[in-house]
Amino acid sequence: MKKIKILSTKTLSNDLKHLFSDLKFDLYHNDFISIQPLILNLPKHDGSWIFTSKNAVEAVFSSNQNIDNFFNKIYCVGKNTKSLLVKKGQKIAKMAQNSSNLAEFISKTAKNEKFIFCRSNIKNEEFSDFFKKKNIELKELVAYNNVAKPKKYDQIFDAILFYSPSGIKSFMINNSLNNSYCVCIGQTTSKYAKRYSNKVLSCKVPTIENVISETIKLFEK
């Protein structure tokens, strides 16, 4: 029986790899980007903070500043980001499933607040532009760098798992999608993937587990 070749553009833990334990899958996984936290001087900010990834949380909390009672109010994207913030002792004003939903929520319920957005060096133009169009004050703090780690594969994969636009960019440096399905963690990533493919799936809830679940469902028939 021909095996279904799967590539994850992020290294998977043993527990996550086990989800592909069915013998019909041939799993490859590798990190196509590396995360480099920056040395931060956190600005004093009397408004609300926005975190859309665990990487931003880790970068901010790894700064050497005393951040007890530092954050006035926190908004975030994704349950994993929220869990990490709670683990760091923070209270969350609002968690949304994706950045678009969070921006919409803020525009309807908190447009008079001032915000600071902790992000990577790769800017989410759509998110930033939304605040500008709605005349909501948004400062942006680059907390970490996404650095490409390109790799070349000679195999043709049945499905490729993507977790960020920067992961797609890194993959495309030395590879092509051929006719592979692109299974994406969320809307921002899937929107970018559609530049290269019309075989794109997006998770409703952005977690790695759901990316894997959607991939397995794809080949259940």
What pLDDT digit, counting tens, does each position of 175-201 carry?
999 999 999 998 889 999 999 999 999
Cβ(57)–Cβ(88) below 8 Å? yes
Domain ranges of the chain: 4-32+153-218, 35-146
pLDDT digits (tens, 9 = 90+) for 129-165: 999 999 999 999 999 999 999 999 999 999 999 999 9
State how far the Cα of 219 lies from the Cα of 25, in Å rounded to an integer. Answer: 10
For residue 22, what pLDDT band results from cuts at 50, 70 and 90? confident
Domains 4-32+153-218 and 35-146 share a fold: yes
Copy the structure tokens of residue 21: 């334990």
Output the DSSP codes for 86-142.
HHTT---SEEESSHHHHHHHHHHH-TTS-EEEEEESS--HHHHHHHHHTT--EEEEE
Between strands 138-148 and 33-37, the pairing is antiparallel
Domain covering 35-146: architecture: 3-Layer(aba) Sandwich (3.40)
For residue 58, what pLDDT band results from cuts at 50, 70 and 90? very high
Query: What is the predicted pLDDT for the residue at 67?
Result: 72
DSSP lists the bridge partners of residue 48 as: 73, 115
Burial class (CB in 10 A: 0-12, 13-18, 19+), 158: buried
Q: Is the pTM of this model over 0.85?
A: yes
Copy the structure tokens of residue 216: 């397995």
For 160, half-sphere exposure in the C-beta direction (CA atoms, 13 angstrom radius) is 29
DSSP lists the bridge partners of residue 193 as: none
Query: What is the predicted pLDDT for the residue at 2?
Result: 85
| SS3 category, 144 | strand
For residue 65, what pLDDT band results from cuts at 50, 70 and 90? low
CATH of domain 4-32+153-218: 3.40.50.10090
Between strands 115-120 and 94-96, the pairing is unpaired
**Whole-number average pLDDT of the chain:** 93
